Amino acid sequence: MSLRPPQPETPARDAFTIHRAPVAGDLRLAYLREGVGGYPLVLVHGYPETKRIWWRNIRPLVEAGFEVIVPDLRGYGDSDLSDDDAYDLTLYSRDIYALVHDVLGHDRCGLLAGDVGGVVTCDMANRFPGFVDRMIFFNSVAPMVPERLEWYTERGLSLMMLEHGPTGDYRIRQGRDWKQLMEDLDTPARRRRWVRDFYEHRLLASPGSFEEDDFDFHVEPFEDLRRLAAGWAPYQLEYGRPMSEPPLLAQPVEVPTLILYGPDDQVVPKDFAKRCEIAFPNRVGPLIVPECGHFLQWERADVLNEVAKYFFSGLAAP
12: CB partners within 8 A, 6+ apart: none
Residue 165's pLDDT is 52
Give 167's pLDDT tier (boundaries 50, 70, 90). Answer: low
Output the pTM of the full model: 0.95
Identify whether 55 is part of a domain.
Answer: yes
Identify whether 50 is part of a domain.
Answer: yes
Report CA-CA distances (Å) from 315 to 39, 65, 219, 241, 305: 7, 11, 35, 39, 16
Identify whether 271 is part of a domain.
Answer: yes
Amino acid in the structure at residue 180: Q
Identify whether 217 is part of a domain.
Answer: no
Cα–Cα distance, 223 to 220 (Å, whole number): 6
Render pLDDT for 231-270 as a digit per residue (tens, 0 to 9): 999 999 989 999 999 999 999 999 999 999 999 998 898 9
Give the CATH number of the domain where residue 40 resides: 3.40.50.1820
Identify whether 208 is part of a domain.
Answer: no
Statement: residue 166 has pLDDT above 70: no
Identify whether 215 is part of a domain.
Answer: no
Report CA-CA distances (Å) from 58 to 64, 85, 245, 304, 307: 10, 31, 32, 11, 14
Residue 1's pLDDT is 47
The enclosing H or E element of 21 equals strand 19-24
Residue 310's pLDDT is 96
Identify whether 168 is part of a domain.
Answer: no
- If one counts the domains in the chain, the total is 1
Q: What rounded mean pLDDT belongs to the chain? A: 94
Q: Stretch 92-111: mean pLDDT, rounded? A: 98
Residue 161's pLDDT is 61
* Domain enclosing residue 136, as ranges: 19-163+244-311
Statement: residue 65 has pLDDT above 80: yes
Render pLDDT for 32-53 as a digit per residue (tens, 0 to 9): 999 999 999 999 999 999 999 9
Residue 3's pLDDT is 74
Render pLDDT for 279-310 as a digit per residue (tens, 0 to 9): 999 999 999 999 999 999 999 999 999 999 99
Cα–Cα distance, 303 to 318 (Å, whole number): 27
Identify whether 148 is part of a domain.
Answer: yes
